[in-house]
Amino acid sequence: MPEAEPAERAEPAERAEPPPQPHIQPRPSLFVVHITPELAPVAKVGGLADVVFGLGRELEIRGNHVEIILPKYDCMRYDHIWGLQRIFDDLWVPWYGGAIHCSVYFGFVHGRKCFFIEPHSQDNFFNRGAVYGFHDDIFRFAFFSRAAMEFLWKSGKHPDIIHCHDWQTALVPVYLYEIYQPMGMRHPRVCFTIHNFKHQGVTGAQVLHATGLNRPDYYFHYDRLRDNHNPHAINLMKGGIVYANFVTTVSPRYAMEAKDQGQGFGLEPTLHIHHMKYGGVVNGIDYDVWNPEIDPHIPVHFGVETIEGKYADKKALRDRLLLADNEKPIVSFVGRLDPQKGIELIRHALFYTLGQGGQFVLLGSSPDGAINGYFWGLKRQFNDNPDCHLEIGYNEELAHLVYAGSDIMVVPSRFEPCGLTQLIAMRYGTIPVVREVGGLADTVIDKDFSHRPLNERNGYVFRDYDERGLESALGRAIACYYQYPDHFRELMKNAMRYDYSWNHPGQDYMNIYDYIRDK
């Protein structure tokens, strides 16, 4: 048989070139300036201060240049400011047809670049021993907002985004578009965040004369600053909504409630007119501060896989507050004793918890003397009860231990724009019992009555603002603790796995900034 012809050797195929990759332009970094009345921890009254610090830090992590402008209060925590120095000493801010001389200081607040404005005036705007609570607060912050804009203009700063907060700085976009843009400051866009619609800065025409917005007939137009209900008043928050390029609140649910369910305190028509530039972004919490794995204020660190450490912190909490060491669940409340937070239901939670075989811990105080006095009376009533402790006041170190050592946290708010309490509680494996309102409804998924998968459920929710509603949720939480401890522990782990850092809201705000930059 003849030998077969060898097969012809195939030529090696040419190596295929990879398809051309699309050229993806990296997102350019932005220059963002926050103009704010508060900043944690140097000038903190409420959650606004935490938001500005946390968001500012997240934006910097994402490669943006962030600066923060706030008043130079005499009551600031100067021990948290590094390298404070006067850097601008010739700022003259228009005021009542004249001008007030101001100095500007610069310093770092835990890495944030901050400018502090100090007016030299007989009005003594910011040397009063407190941030708020004075008869001329509207004029104090109207001046501060004008001073911040004048500083940006005189120092040649042209940020991409000016982000202002609440009624105190709501005049910033008004100043920008009515005064500084015609002078040539055409680059910045404004994001205005409303942390609470209840306080709006309603005032008379005098503030227009003071600030240089000297056309009352123009600004008293309904489409600009005139209050929706009082034709003889202007509304600073309304001005912020009208003039800003985008308006946010601190949760999607609260944004809807303010616009459509009567929680806009009279601004509902304005929100409907400007609905295309309006939305909600849930606040984050700083996981460098609120994190049981690294928290310096708790004796034993723990995480999802080492949750047993939480029980050592529970014992430490009992030891510190002289509570009986037993198998009962600890139900807690941490926060302001304010009508917004549900004073009546906080009180009822105390009595109901004790009646259901639990222990109750309260840490908080009220600026209202009558409310404070009432809770002092409760404290005396339960002074010798081994299952109850009321701490009237606020102690940051103790707050960390309460979050770590409690089993259940009640947040029975009348209304709640976002709420940080439930977010912190979940990080520490403490099960939130919340009313279905605002940011509470956006972040807490009921264990028993939700269509979400079991591994996504993280707490207990009730709808009606009454004692029966509270009992419906708190009762289920306590019953689960006693009757189904394995289920309760899984619920704790579910809560701890949620990411309520600034990562997601940081991206949401970057998207908003990009959106208004393109306008």
d(CA 374, CA 85): 45
Compute the residue count for the chain.
519
Quote the radius of gyration of the chain (alpha carbons, Å).
27
Q: Which residues fall in the annotated binding site?
A: 44
Look up residue 290 and give its two tokens.
């609120």
Report which residue type is found at 112: R
Q: How far apart are CA 220 and CA 269, in angstroms?
A: 16
Sign of CA dihedral 236, 242, 245, 246: positive
The SS3 call for residue 331 is: strand
Helices (H), 382-502: 396-405, 421-427, 438-443, 467-483, 485-497
Q: Which positions make up the binding site for ADP-alpha-D-glucose?
A: 44
With contact defined as beta carbons under 8 Å apart, do 196 and 166 qualify? yes
> Residue 286: which of 65, 507, 64, 51 has the closest Cα?
51
Cross-strand partners of 396 = none
102 contacts 87 by C-beta, under 8 angstroms:
no
What is the sign of the dihedral through the CA atoms of 510, 269, 238 and 243? positive
For 215, the token pair is 């056309």
**What are the backbone angles phi and psi of residue 59, rounded to the nearest 5°?**
-65, -40
Contact of 311 with 328, CB cutoff 8 Å: no
* Angstrom distance (rounded) from CA 317 to CA 299: 10
* 481 neighbors 488 (Cβ within 8 angstroms): yes
* Alpha carbons 313 and 406: distance in angstroms, whole number: 9
